[in-house]
Amino acid sequence: METTTIHPAESYLRNETNPSSLYVRIAGKRRRLFINRDRGIIGIIAPGKRTKGYVFTDWSSIEQIYYPSQEQEANTDWKLILKYQKLARLATHTNAWLRDIANADLDKSLYENHITTGTRIDGKCIGLATIEKYCGMASMQRFREAMKNKESFSTCRFDFCGYDGTLWCEPRDNGDMSAGFSKEYRNCGNGYYYLLINDEYVIGYDID
């Protein structure tokens, strides 16, 4: 007698102790399956719709299942990428990193999109106005002028909330400008690293 193997996603949805919907990856896109438990029918939300869908039977097309904890993580990644994109649109300079942000795949994490190295400072912003309180008005003015004129600049180390702070910018051969802020442990080459995402904010990139 031939036995039928139930797909894990179908098994999850038919278990009445679980939620009645489940996110999966199909053709590289995140899609939502749902079950009508009164009729025992499983459907999939149509692309671009919130509630309308159709019957789903193509279980072999599922590439990945996002169980609830994974789903929450995916939603967090999605929101963080949108945050980076919103801030980056305000930039008056450009570089490869900002282009990566603009072209990011919302179904992937910041790390998978090569936007950050995937640390706890992902999405953490520091305003240049805050940095100016510690580096001084003159240093901030020189930094802004260097950005405008596409010149190299770096402050000396200055006290920043108990860390050694350094604000810098550097032109690239193709006309791009890279800039950032380092918040390192005192007299040490390790710490927290932020990149300039627009004219007023740096945002988390790496921890060393």
- pLDDT at residue 70 in the model: 65
- The residue ranges of DSSP E strands in the chain, in sequence order, are 21-26, 29-36, 41-45, 53-55, 62-66, 125-127, 153-154, 158-160, 163-171, 177-184, 191-196, 201-207
pLDDT of residue 47: 86
- What pTM did the predictor assign? 0.68
pLDDT of residue 2: 54
List average pLDDT for each run of 10 residues in the chain, which is 208 residues long.
Answer: 79 87 90 90 88 92 86 77 96 97 90 91 97 98 98 97 97 96 92 98 96
Sheet holding 62-66, edge to edge: 53-55, 41-45, 29-36, 21-26, 62-66
Q: What is the DSSP letter of 61?
A: G
What pLDDT does 82 receive?
93
